[in-house]
Structure 1
């Protein structure tokens, strides 16, 4: 399986791109940095996980991607409450990060069957 053909990777890339484009509106540089770092980490770790040779290593990096999606969700939630993010954008990102997390959990569960 090629990571760049995976729907979850493509969705994570789009989420990251949206976060980077939107981040120019965010004046709190610490928040902006954390938000974009976690967003970038999701597709990056998916790619690294798929490219790993062993199933155990693959699951580890997919787990990192899942954790980054949780981190991104938390930052969006806080950003929404703090007024850093538009509510409609935040709601869309919250939903997308939850769906990415669920897909990654399913992929990891399937891969664990082969260990």
Structure 2
């Protein structure tokens, strides 16, 4: 069992989640804000849960869920930029970060044996 708190991918995804919460706190569209913050929060949460499991199969399953949550967040970020809810610069930075995090999670999955 790996200590998730030492993983850079967990640290970065937790930081991204916090950034999303802060940046969207004043959005009046609760549905959009809630969906984006939940998908962002799901990433570090699933990494933590997966790395706390004893079974390799379960570890990989939770990492797959984290990757799926990143895809969901990325979709919402694209939409948020298009409808003017998110500043373009910040949104694009988050898009880059979600792609990098996905690659990091895939790499972690491949290292688990």
Q: TM-score, normalised on structure 1?
A: 0.94
Unaligned runs of 5+ in 1: none
Match of 2:63 in 1: 62
Q: CA deviation at 1:79?
A: 0.4
Deviation at 1:110, TM superposition (A): 2.3
Matching residue of 1:22: 23
d(CA) in 2 for partners of 1:26, 1:88: 17
Runs of 4+ in structure 1 over 2 Å off = none
- Write the mapping of 1:1-115 to structure 2, written as runs, cut at 5 A: 1-111=2-112, 114=113
| TM superposition shift of 1:24 | 1.3
Gaps of 5+ in 2: none
* RMSD (CA atoms): 0.8
How many Å separate the matches in 2 of 1:6 and 1:47?
A: 9
